[in-house]
Amino acid sequence: MNAMEKALAALKQDEQIQTFLKLAKIHAVGGDEILLAREYEQILKGMGFSVQYDKAGEAFNGNCGNLIAYWEGTDPLAEPIFLSGHLDTIMTTKDLHPVIRDGAIYSDGTTILGADDRSALAAYIDAIKAIQDTNMPCGPIELIITVNEQHGLLGAQNLDLSLVRSRNGVVFDESKGDVGYILRRGGFRSSIDIVFCMPQGSAAGHIANDPINPNAFVMGTEAFRRMNLGNLDNGDTVALIGVMEGGEFASVIPGTLHMSGQVRSYRRELLDQQLALMEKVSQEEAEKCGGSAEVNIQHGYQGYEISSEDPLYQVCRGAISHLGLPYTEGQTLGGADTNYLRMLGLNCITMGNGQREIHSFNEHISVENLINIARLSIAIIANWYQSKR
């Protein structure tokens, strides 16, 4: 039995379940993660990690920053690797009553479970304890545990990179696949806000005075009709107007209309083309009505594609194969911490952790997936160290 196999054998299923449930029951929603952060900090310090926090929480009035922890491993001079996840859940779990049935962990149906992303946080603890208990050779291990992921990836956006020592790592935070799934492609995201306005301002006259033309609603709805929204470019691009607000009273001709939407695409040039179209038709329809359209475009996270030649990807593929797990891969236009971590220059890959029906009271995770997050974490750490020796 080699060193990695000894570490894998040291994992105890019952202990892993208890680690997960302990963390899952602690209240920590976006902006209010301090209780879980302090608990996690104490566990890590007891394992020999140095722990520090950045000031990310100040950007959104949170009570906690991102937690960055570092352990030197058995070979402090080797190239480090990081494991990442997030502290917050979409809703509170403080009244969680877990139920294990049919090989999976659920709540009792009155709260979410919090497997997104406490399953990863717990598995990292158990994996590293097994590594330490068996003295498995490894380089330094860093944990980048973010805050306020659920409300716009705010922790990752505001991560203080000067506190991070590693430049390669993985994030177990993907519900599309079981453990063994790798997210190979992520999309770009931009937001667009449009304010249509008549020269008279928000109140453009009384209903008795030509209520149909021109008005801000006519401008906006005609532009909306021409925006070519929905699934585009054979699924590579999606465009949506999700908010329309305007009008003062039922008897007042609407002088302003506000639209807000998003465009996401795997290809930056397609994203820019769609945004340009939306801006163009908005300006044209406003001009037809003698009004104006103020368009504001904000670019969010950037897309990426993981190359099969990427050494980190090869390490992850090899670890999956070594454990005999089925390998699957995919892509998503949904955002994750990985998008912003990669924008900061960190080579980061999102891994599946197998949680199901997240953000619902039927959220659950199989015991097998919970165990396999820890197993795959051990194998990735071992493979990374061997590949860099």
Question: pLDDT tens digit string along 59-97?
Answer: 999 999 999 999 999 999 999 999 999 999 999 999 999
188-299 matches 3-186+302-387 in CATH topology: no
Contact 80, 170 (CB under 8 A): no
Question: pLDDT tens digit string along 205-242?
Answer: 566 566 556 889 999 999 999 999 999 999 999 999 99
Report DSSP state, residue 161: G
Instruction: Specify the CATH architecture of the domain 188-299.
Output: 2-Layer Sandwich (3.30)
| Domain definitions of the chain by residue range | 3-186+302-387, 188-299
CATH number attached to the domain at 3-186+302-387? 3.40.630.10
- Which stretches of the chain are DSSP H helices? 3-9, 13-24, 34-46, 115-134, 154-157, 216-226, 268-288, 311-323, 337-343, 367-387
CA separation for the pair 327, 179 (Å, rounded): 8
Tokens of 370: 């919970």
Q: Determine the pLDDT at residue 244.
A: 96
CA separation for the pair 237, 221 (Å, rounded): 22
Residue indicated by tokens 């860099």? 388
For residue 126, cis peptide bond before it (omega within 30 degrees of 0) = no
Question: pLDDT tens digit string along 235-279?
Answer: 999 999 999 999 888 888 888 999 999 999 999 999 999 999 999
Question: pLDDT tens digit string along 306-317?
Answer: 999 999 999 999
